[in-house]
Structure 1
């Protein structure tokens, strides 16, 4: 389809709320979006050059635009969500529809049974949930079973059959778990009172049940029925214990949904808490893979619609970290302080913990995905033009007058590449001069890489502040590499990152993955450098000792070390062993030196 046809499609778009769909040349739907004003939103895709590469590719692939006009923006949100789930377009964030959550069912029948199920049947039964974990379902069912005596049999308890004596009480009755409605030992009205109380508990309201039990307990006590009063007291304790575990905020906060989001370069994590009577009755975190560098606002709006649909939430108010547009039916609150802010902070903490867990799991299960995430995050955090797949870190902080050395450690895809590590003995600098040493080492490293046509790193990290960074920059300039490789310096405490020509350092979040990788690089460079420095010092010490033996020159020392590998072995060697390497005369001098000590 020609570009002019696209222009015609754009001109004929209405200025109303709706949903737009982009199709490629094969007629496959590649993107679905919502808009307050269809014409403005869709035209914006074609009117400017996009910073995001994927968006540029998407625009190139668009051949046909279709749209659906709706009454309100809320309708647009719902329709967008449903179309994304139905078609899973390539450039939309992924929303998977999960229908296998557990529910608690109160069956539509005389003397209703209460049980867990994963199948919702539209037969007039009441369903509570869905719950995000089976553990919550079991806890609630155990709580209900411990307080109310409900039947577990599946008999059809019609009035006629009970009157005709069709059924006999079972073991559950004799164990005290059921009051025997099958033999007419409990009336339908009494049973339904319990069901009514159970519904309130499942909604998170314990107040009515507790006050009812307290009144019953007092009545039994007045009537001297202390055994019955004790049973009711135990029920109150069970309920209060459960309520204490679940109540975390002001009990006046009821029927509210709380949403928060944390995101990195590749994923967004939206946490959902559902509150009823001050209790959290549900918590769920949705992971969304970004496709077009979506903002937190875009992800949160989409996730709220998805989650509320998935969990059948009818709450009239939501708490969120920033304003979202969900239409007029829902009150949107952005808490600033107090209990409301406390519950929003709790939601954010849940989202962060979930993200940390996923990060750990990726490291084990999917190392490639883990590396991709770290690379994307480092690119953003360190303000780089490309992902730092290959990083090199230089350290010469261990130079102390003697045996000046430097270390270069290499990370590839966020992990140490030990075969690429290099040590340098400083050749051109006299005495301890960190700046000149750094200049020499950086020059030698990249001169050699250029000469051998090796692939250069995307990022160089210099262990040191502005001085060392300036020295390294001189070498990059001399090799005509300045601006071609990103370079930063780390100050001593690892809290400050310095950039060329920028006096103000960058401070990274102490918990960020980027800082962890930078920290690991710096620690590795220290370890590797100090190890080499120590080896060099010990070798020079041993060389010095051997050379102090009268009549033993440098060639003899080298021959002995080549054969025996260490000074210790030379000192423990027998005379005939030394003789075979350096002759009788020198062998006797070395042997006598060590054995006369």
Structure 2
């Protein structure tokens, strides 16, 4: 221990680290595990795994990394945490769990987007179909539908699909061939004559008894086998049924099955890859260029190519530089640097994307995947997972398609980012903003929306890092003003947005940024509650000072309005003691025509007309239009809630957006829900007897 600590002390990178940290490094065990680095503020810098913790972590502090990205990270390390595990596979799973949940600064990060859509066929699970009780008509005739959400074990789910379009296309194909119903159970139960889908031969009409349950069940079984990729078995079964009807001289029924087989054959012909032996495969291709990377995921389900989806990770350059500089001596990675980066990106995607979800047992990849990662996935799924590199035949075609799509998607992203960066630079030049930190340039834009004074809402949208940051958007419910008074609404939202920031800045500097006697008007008890959010945006966090990047003010505050709104903003900023040069109003031009807008300044500068083809004006219009859209959607949702009384249902514990929508659809509105009995409420999907009783008591 003493020898190793001495080595650390002599190393150039160790001069900035405490003796306690170096001692912890010296005493690490030579076992597999996960390590985490933190800076002096407690922010997580990096999460890594190692087959040998002592050897891996020591390499950070023993080598000279000056002037590199890894040197920049190591210089920030103030604290370390480690976790010893049983195997390298277990370390890999823990590492990616931590990366996904903690979002470290120097790791490759993929957006956690597993909200894939599925094709659902209701009530087809065998345990429920063989139940002794008599099923209802809607259960006896299963329905297929687009679905996204939690899985219910009573139903069958097929997918996942890469997009909603892929699901709906599959439903259309199944309608043409097997004619399963897609209508809601409430519609199905109340039909007295067949709908249009029956007329155009997309449904067999079970709602009005135009098909018996036994024949319909055969169609459901054939549809499920088709979705599982058993197309030849489906064709053979249909052929046997057709010949059976022909032998009995039932030529009309035989002709119907013949038409069904023809439709299925056309579907198979359109899907060029349906005849291959693979059933469920994921194809992964990586493209790295210009400091960005794209992983294109193509999905093969039931032998059919369902489409693909591109993913763009963050922190590629930093993470790849660190991994490349500290290539594990136990598992050296040969090849060109770009190939090593692509392999790192691919392995990071596989580890993060498939963590905790069902996955196919075969992956076709553009780069070789390490054995420890496959072992970890096999351990997670309980079945062997294999990755095929340099595939042949149809798999090679799939991979070539995925690689081409990855190249196209990455080229499009780089072009869009380049265009957006040029717009940011153009705006900075037009307004004489510092151009040395354009990546950190932060713009906040405000807009007011209402309908003749009803349900007034203010919006604040954020532009930072050359793109809109929708996770930082905020809505503010405006109350206590004269209806339709946009100036008072703007005053209120600016006070609520920047009042706490001004207070925090005052505490940091010791200066009285808020004039004496105005504290109550700024942050007093008479101010309305913070923003109420639209139900569709429940993922947005509550507005707090921390959510606005601490006490830091934006570099620019855009106001959607002319001299009047800018004057109101100037009054608020003077009251709070903030810099007036931050305020810029976007004034409509002559005839309110797009491209004729002028910029109005609160600090007395002359108006600026940027020109209808100016890149700076394009960025201003983009931000302004986004604020307008966000304000309108919030106002409309608030107005609808007030007019329909939806808040009465929202206040009932256990009734979320989905259950509320089902109740309103089933009973036609809140009044219908209120007039329904407990027994009627129980008939709605997802409403238990206890919850139905709670709803009834809450509405009475």
TM-score (norm 1): 0.54
Contact (CA 8 Å) 1:250, 1:339: kept in 2 or not?
no
> Residues 240-272 of structure 1, C-alpha deviation per residue, up to 9 Å, x if partnerless?
233233333871233332222110241121122
> Does residue 360 of structure 1 match 2:407?
no
2:82 aligns with: 67
Contact (CA 8 Å) 1:52, 1:292: kept in 2 or not?
no
Contact (CA 8 Å) 1:359, 1:370: kept in 2 or not?
no
State the shift of 1:302 in Å.
1.0
Gap change, CA 1:297 and 1:364, over 3 Å in 2:
same
1:199 aligns with: 224
| Rounded Cα–Cα distance in structure 1 between residues aligned with 2:424 and 2:278 | 40
State the shift of 1:33 in Å.
1.9
> Does residue 77 of structure 1 match 2:100?
no
1:93 aligns with: 108
State the shift of 1:317 in Å.
4.8
1:490 aligns with: none
Question: Which residue among 254, 267, 288 is the counterpart of 1:263?
Answer: 288
Gap change, CA 1:194 and 1:220, over 3 Å in 2:
same
1:147 aligns with: 177
**More displaced, 211-220 or 181-190?**
181-190
> Does residue 304 of structure 1 match 2:350?
yes
Gap change, CA 1:111 and 1:118, over 3 Å in 2:
same
2:313 aligns with: 288
Gap change, CA 1:60 and 1:189, over 3 Å in 2:
farther
Question: Which residue among 134, 138, 142 is the counterpart of 2:164?
Answer: 134
Mapping 1:86-485, distance limit 5 Å: 86-108=101-123, 109-155=139-185, 169-172=192-195, 175=199, 178-179=203-204, 190-248=215-273, 251-276=276-301, 278-289=303-314, 290-292=316-318, 294=320, 295-309=341-355, 312-325=358-371, 326-328=373-375, 329=378, 330-335=385-390, 337-367=392-422
Gap change, CA 1:119 and 1:304, over 3 Å in 2:
same
> Residues 62-89 of structure 1, C-alpha deviation per residue, up to 9 Å, x if partnerless?
1111123334434333333332222222
| Rounded Cα–Cα distance in structure 1 between residues aligned with 2:425 and 2:289 | 12
| Rounded Cα–Cα distance in structure 1 between residues aligned with 2:118 and 2:175 | 16
| Rounded Cα–Cα distance in structure 2 between residues aligned with 1:319 and 1:347 | 10
| Rounded Cα–Cα distance in structure 2 between residues aligned with 1:131 and 1:299 | 23
> Residues 539-589 of structure 1, C-alpha deviation per residue, up to 9 Å, x if partnerless?
xxxxxxxxxxxxxxxxxxxxxxxxxxxxxxxxxxxxxxxxxxxxxxxxxxx
Q: CA-atom RMSD, angstroms? A: 3.5
Contact (CA 8 Å) 1:259, 1:320: kept in 2 or not?
yes
Contact (CA 8 Å) 1:249, 1:343: kept in 2 or not?
no
| Rounded Cα–Cα distance in structure 1 between residues aligned with 2:277 and 2:38 | 49
> Residues 414-470 of structure 1, C-alpha deviation per residue, up to 9 Å, x if partnerless?
xxxxxxxxxxxxxxxxxxxxxxxxxxxxxxxxxxxxxxxxxxxxxxxxxxxxxxxxx
> Residues 78-114 of structure 1, C-alpha deviation per residue, up to 9 Å, x if partnerless?
3333322222222222321124432222223553321
| Rounded Cα–Cα distance in structure 2 between residues aligned with 1:336 and 1:180 | 46
Contact (CA 8 Å) 2:121, 2:156: kept in 1 or not?
yes
The number of residues matched between the two structures is: 364
Contact (CA 8 Å) 1:308, 1:314: kept in 2 or not?
no
Contact (CA 8 Å) 2:286, 2:346: kept in 1 or not?
yes
Gap change, CA 1:308 and 1:192, over 3 Å in 2:
farther
Gap change, CA 1:67 and 1:364, over 3 Å in 2:
same
Gap change, CA 1:239 and 1:181, over 3 Å in 2:
closer
**More displaced, 119-128 or 266-275?**
119-128
1:40 aligns with: 55
Structure 1 gaps of 5+ residues are: 372-597
| Rounded Cα–Cα distance in structure 2 between residues aligned with 1:106 and 1:74 | 36
Gap change, CA 1:38 and 1:230, over 3 Å in 2:
farther
1:355 match: secondary structure: helix
Contact (CA 8 Å) 1:256, 1:319: kept in 2 or not?
no
Question: Which residue among 15, 24, 29 is the counterpart of 1:9?
Answer: 24
Gap change, CA 1:241 and 1:179, over 3 Å in 2:
closer
| Rounded Cα–Cα distance in structure 2 between residues aligned with 1:224 and 1:366 | 73
> Residues 485-532 of structure 1, C-alpha deviation per residue, up to 9 Å, x if partnerless?
xxxxxxxxxxxxxxxxxxxxxxxxxxxxxxxxxxxxxxxxxxxxxxxx
Contact (CA 8 Å) 2:119, 2:159: kept in 1 or not?
yes
Contact (CA 8 Å) 1:262, 1:270: kept in 2 or not?
yes
Gap change, CA 1:318 and 1:43, over 3 Å in 2:
farther
